[in-house]
Amino acid sequence: MKDNGLNICQRKYSLDILEEVGFLDCKPVATPIVPGQRLTKDTGSPLTDAAPYRRLVGRLLYLTATRPDLAYATQQLSHFVDSPTSEHMSAAHPVLRYIKGAPRQGLLYPTNTAVQLNVFADSDWASCPETCRSITGFCIFLGSALISWRSKKQMTVSLSSSEAEYRAFAFLLFVRHNG
């Protein structure tokens, strides 16, 4: 803990992931996912051994405990752990290169922050190309400190962007009241 607050990061864990998959010397990128990229279960050729992909996605899921910036990309990759393809593994490479650019990134809980709750929610209407379901995301700040976040595919298909936004808000209220 420093004078400005508590910084929680998983630097060593991030570097261990990069070393395990051979990306320790890779060139960093600015975003963890290729903008506009839509993954489907049928793209690419099936991996002969799915275990490395599953292990990587599991490790990325654990890393999101201190890296909310990886939540959406990891959520997208996790849809294909049952039958990953070469395309899915290739989509994981920008995530690894993004981690390389900032392995120390984490959460900062400042000592002097306003006690004000700020909540932001959004949805990506019909973004899943296979099910046409929307993805909801939210983050909750106490002052300037991020205290909760989530990205999840909605349970039902929304018929409009307004309905998707309404479902995102309803989901946020449900999480708030039920933990």
In this structure, how many other beta carbons lie within 10 angstroms of the beta carbon of residue 103? Answer: 20
pLDDT for res 123: 76
Angstrom distances, CA of residue 141 to CA of 121, 123, 138, 151, 158: 12, 18, 10, 15, 27
Residue 81's nearest CA partner among 110, 117, 52, 123 is 52
Q: For the segment 2-17, what is each residue's pLDDT rounded down to a tens digit?
A: 578 888 999 999 999 9
Residue with tokens 């990309």: 73
pLDDT for res 32: 95
Element (H, E) at 95: helix 86-101
Average confidence (pLDDT) per 10 residues, the chain, 179 residues: 80 97 96 87 93 98 94 90 96 97 93 85 73 80 86 73 73 68
Q: Where are the domains of the chain?
A: 9-106, 113-178
pLDDT for res 43: 87
